[in-house]
Amino acid sequence: MKRIVLLTIVCMIIVFSAVGYYYWDNSQNETEFFDQDNNSTGDGLNESEGVETYVLQNNAQAAQALQPKILYWGSTGQDVKNVQWKLLQWGYYNSAVDGIYGTRTFNAVKRFQRQNGLLVDGVVGPQTAAALGLFFGDAGAGRGTGGGAGTLSRNDDIYLMARAIHGEARGEPYIGKVAVAAVVLNRVEHPSFPNTIASVIYQPGAFTAVADGQINLQPDSESLRAARDAMNGWDPTYGCRYYWNPATATSRWIWSRSVVIKIGKHWFGN
């Protein structure tokens, strides 16, 4: 009798162990299937989110590598001095060779470009530099860097646009950053403005970020994304060529513009 009772207990233990293992194994499989169906990495991070985070981090790290080697309003250094010296020698410039790309250098470059059949945008890139007999070094293999039609690559334009966004719309909602970039592109397409992104951004007095130097800050990943979205055709402003902050705007003229849309702290109009 004791043997029968003992045997029954052993059998029950085996059965319960088998059932417990079955349910445990199924729960593990269900978890695995759920992770696969939802692209989970198993550590609480959705796979698509992980990829996006990785891309954004790499965008920020690559931002400096995308920086175009061109000289424009606000540039400083020995390369600017070399440009000024050449222009001085050839009678286009009559001010100090101080390495600061300001109004007089900008106007002298435009005079030189006009005289030599170059795109007149006040920006010194490969074509203008070559005409001056200058070379600024390698700013990125296989990339154009401005100063003439077709010489700015898409990456150069995106990076320069991102710098303008970061300087002008830092702290604005994402759509507001895209809107600022759209205004730049709308100006490029309008006959009343210069016809390149660099010359629109560096047009004297056009953007506060250029005047106060914030254009030289390294843009964040969101500004780079906004620049790409605008370049790909997103225009939240519906074609506007102007924007202003009503709380800080001091120009009387800007208040004569018709407001089309308000995004964040900025008003956009024509």
- For the chain, domains (ranges, CATH) are 67-143 (1.10.101.10), 153-270 (1.10.10.2520)
Q: Which two tokens stand for residue 210?
A: 């250029």
Phi, psi of 241 (to 5 degrees): -115, 0
262: alpha, beta or left? (left if phi > 0; alpha if psi -120 to 50): beta
pLDDT confidence of residue 131: 85
Share of the chain above pLDDT 70, in %: 68
User: CA 118, CA 114: separation in Å to the nearest integer?
Assistant: 6
The tens digit of pLDDT for each residue in 155-201 reads 878 998 999 999 999 999 999 999 999 999 999 999 999 888 888 88
| Tokens 């924007």 -> residue | 243
Least confident piece of the model among 94-103, 234-243, 258-267: 94-103
The tens digit of pLDDT for each residue in 1-26 reads 656 655 666 566 665 665 555 555 55
pLDDT confidence of residue 137: 64
Top-confidence residue, 72 or 268? 268
Sign of the CA dihedral 217, 227, 174, 60?
A: negative
The tens digit of pLDDT for each residue in 21-64 reads 555 555 454 444 434 444 444 444 444 444 544 455 455 555 54
pLDDT confidence of residue 125: 82
Q: What is the mean pLDDT of the chain?
A: 78
Top-confidence residue, 84 or 13? 84
pLDDT confidence of residue 167: 96
140, pLDDT greater than 60 = no
Q: Are 239 and 186 in contact (CB under 8 A)?
A: yes
pLDDT confidence of residue 121: 84
pLDDT confidence of residue 42: 40
Beta bridge partners of 124: 71
User: 164 to each of 13, 36, 156, how far by Cα in Å?
Assistant: 73, 41, 13
Secondary structure (3-state) at 149: coil
The tens digit of pLDDT for each residue in 223-259 reads 999 999 999 999 999 999 999 999 998 888 999 999 9
User: CA 223, CA 60: separation in Å to the nearest integer?
Assistant: 10
